[in-house]
Structure 1
Amino acid sequence: MKKATRLLRFEDAWLPNLAAWTYMLSAYVGGFAAILADSLWLNAAGVLLLAHGMVIAAYFIHECAHDSLFRLPINNHRFGEALLWICGASYSDYEAIRLKHVRHHLDRADVVSFDFRTRLLHYPKLLKTIQVLEWFYIPALEIMMHALVVVLPFVKESRRYLRRRVVTVLLLRIAFFGALASISLKVLLLYPLAYMIFLTVMRFMDVHQHTYDVHETLDFSREAQVKQYDRAFESRNTYSNLISEKYPWLNLLVLNFAYHNVHHDQQIQPWYRLPGLHAKLYGEDRTQVLMFSDLARSYHRYRVARVLNGDPADLDVKHDAGRTFIGVDGVSFLTAH
């Protein structure tokens, strides 16, 4: 195990990580192979596999951002950069993604460079289009946020340094999908479908994990933060949205990201330890645990209203989360703006 600890941060990390990496790559590569096949059943399976492979890759980026995967930060950086390609988020700079997420933890807020909610009100046609698409369960707002990663370097001076990266990635991805389309045109329909499922899963896990304030301070130092919040505030406004308490293995579908309170309590702890730590720290205390059924109800009920919503901090969501907790959109750690 001495050699292992020189690479991975924790001695017990090899088995769970190798198993997860094997599945992630198999789902991603196998998903593409399946959507290129002639069989419609294989196509359907391929869409789900591809989407889930991207989900697991995204949550490994989250692990890298906390340096909880590899011992050396440079290895977390390199692996995180590679995973951005799997997630279709390689237009972003990994370091910018990491810093945004670190600020989320340090400032105990949703820290952004601009709040799209106030901007969208000035574009009523765009807002209406997004709301209509969201009614049909198309994650239009998330698509817009990812599209802005491509656009902002050409309109915002502080993102100018990303122009060459965006153009290079765009050309490479066009070439990649052009090659796949020469095998089967299905990829031009089925990959976007898989990607929308991926975005939907990621958003579902994000929208109800916090009742944090949104601050437009990402482009400034921490001293520019409007307010400072303490650990008690963080604990009150952070929720664990477990897929299942009865069958904990189901939370592996999102790499245990649902154990969000214990993650905020112990940010360096790796994904595979979170269920045990959750049980040890909280036991039967379910104060900050929200039911999956309630959150699914809320996700459906407020899918249009959520576009412009920002829940106030310290909102009482426990009595009926399905009715009172609308949630917040556009806070993905994959979009560094």
Structure 2
Amino acid sequence: MDNKQSLFRHEDAKLPNFLAFTYIALTYVFGFVFVLSEPLWLNVIGVVMLAHSMVIAAYLIHEAAHHSLFRNKKHNQWFSEILLWVTGTSYSHFEDIQNKHNRHHIDRADVVSFDFRPLLQKHPLFLKVIKAFEWAYIPALEIWMHFLVIVLPFIKESRRARRTHVVTVLILRVAFFWGLASISIDVLWLYPIAYLMFLTVMRFMDVHQHTYEVFETLDQKRGPEAKLRDAEFEEHNTYSNLLSLRYPWVNLLVLNFCYHNVHHKSMLQPWYRLPKLHAEMFGNDYQQILTFKHLIKSFHRYRVPRILNGDPVNLPVKQDEGESFIGVDGVSFLTAH
């Protein structure tokens, strides 16, 4: 078949994408089946399956946002709208997520509609609550960011058009979990555990991938300051946070999202090609590589200071392999605000 007529953007995409799609469907459906079952050991398996199905779904949304999944833009949009329900982020439109993430690449910055850090500093009691949860490894800040996606249409006039969508999604999701709870009430505490695991994985992959500044320019046109950040700046302030150097297959646990420098250099390259491209372009001695064994120490050590942290650009994070690299919270591509 001619590539121009194919469903997928890349001619070698059929098998890897079929496997990824099938994996999401099976782990999501059977995750709920196991969560709704009687034995506790099945519940545990179900929670892990649900969490990981959401992780893979999220990174396929990321693929679609770059149009590296399907050839037709509408197919990327329709598929992502389905996956947004899987990831529990259907309160956002795909276009909002795509716009925010594209601005991240174009402006070479973490672009948001508002920076939560000054707001937290103005409300010390709320900040203490957030810190307490974060100390206990509960991603309260990420929960708040996702909650704001629901609330902002009722606060910001520029988001007013999203109100009907948010209310509709909220009603449907409440009805869905009401139905599941009628089968097993345990879903009301097991699913949140799966979701917290999902948020934690997404956060871990996000916090150390850049030493970018945060700009409150998402609802504005691209400013002239963005033009000052060139490709050299982008590469020097982007990091590939690999789960494993020795066993590349381990990085499939996050759909190869950890090969971040390759992604920034060639955004249309699909997820399954990134390990080979990384080896060809950089190799394992690349200065911008950070590894799991070092980053997990930083993730643990700075889980509370990270709340208010904003990394300076050109930070020499490799001086101790990233163990003192605090990183930045609240920059998920799934929270379109």
User: For residues 262 and 5 of structure 2, what CA distance do their matches in structure 1 show?
Assistant: 24
How does 1:171-250 map onto structure 2 within 5 Å? 171-223=171-223, 225=225, 228-250=228-250
Q: How far 1:291 moved relative to its partner? A: 1.6
Over 3 Å counting, the alpha-carbon distance change for 1:224 and 1:216 in structure 2 is farther
Over 3 Å counting, the alpha-carbon distance change for 1:321 and 1:125 in structure 2 is farther
Q: How far 1:3 moved relative to its partner? A: 7.6
Q: Aligned residue for 2:86?
A: 86
Kept in 1: contact 2:3–2:10 (CA 8 A): no
User: For residues 226 and 268 of structure 2, what CA distance do their matches in structure 1 show?
Assistant: 27
Q: Percent identity?
A: 63
User: For residues 269 and 226 of structure 1, what CA distance do their matches in structure 2 show?
Assistant: 24
User: For residues 331 and 225 of structure 1, what CA distance do their matches in structure 2 show?
Assistant: 20
Residue 150 (structure 2) pairs with residue 150 (structure 1)? yes
How does 1:40-55 map onto structure 2 within 5 Å? 40-55=40-55
Q: How far 1:285 moved relative to its partner? A: 3.2
User: For residues 264 and 66 of structure 1, what CA distance do their matches in structure 2 show?
Assistant: 11
Residue 101 (structure 2) pairs with residue 101 (structure 1)? yes
Q: Aligned residue for 2:119?
A: 119
Kept in 2: contact 1:215–1:225 (CA 8 A): no
Answer with 169-178 or 321-330: which moved more.
Answer: 321-330
TM-score (normalizing by structure 2):
0.98
User: For residues 58 and 291 of structure 2, what CA distance do their matches in structure 1 show?
Assistant: 23
How does 1:221-300 map onto structure 2 within 5 Å? 221-223=221-223, 225=225, 228-300=228-300
Alignment-mate amino acid for residue 23 of structure 2: Y
User: For residues 232 and 32 of structure 1, what CA distance do their matches in structure 2 show?
Assistant: 46
Q: Aligned residue for 2:160?
A: 160
> Tell me, what secondary structure is at the counterpart of 2:113?
coil
Q: How far 1:323 moved relative to its partner? A: 3.6
> Tell me, what secondary structure is at the counterpart of 1:121?
helix
Kept in 2: contact 1:133–1:140 (CA 8 A): yes
Superposed CA deviations along residues 189-218 of structure 1, whole A, max 9, x for unmatched, are 000000000000000000000000111100
Residue 22 (structure 2) pairs with residue 14 (structure 1)? no
User: For residues 6 and 323 of structure 2, what CA distance do their matches in structure 1 show?
Assistant: 49
Answer with 327-336 or 283-292: which moved more.
Answer: 283-292
> Tell me, what secondary structure is at the counterpart of 2:122?
coil
Q: Aligned residue for 1:309?
A: 309
Alignment-mate amino acid for residue 72 of structure 2: L
Q: Aligned residue for 1:75?
A: 75
User: For residues 99 and 222 of structure 1, what CA distance do their matches in structure 2 show?
Assistant: 12
Superposed CA deviations along residues 101-143 of structure 1, whole A, max 9, x for unmatched, are 0000000000000000011111111110010000000000000
TM-score (normalizing by structure 1):
0.98
Over 3 Å counting, the alpha-carbon distance change for 1:67 and 1:300 in structure 2 is same
Over 3 Å counting, the alpha-carbon distance change for 1:287 and 1:180 in structure 2 is same
Superposed CA deviations along residues 134-162 of structure 1, whole A, max 9, x for unmatched, are 00000000000000000000011111111
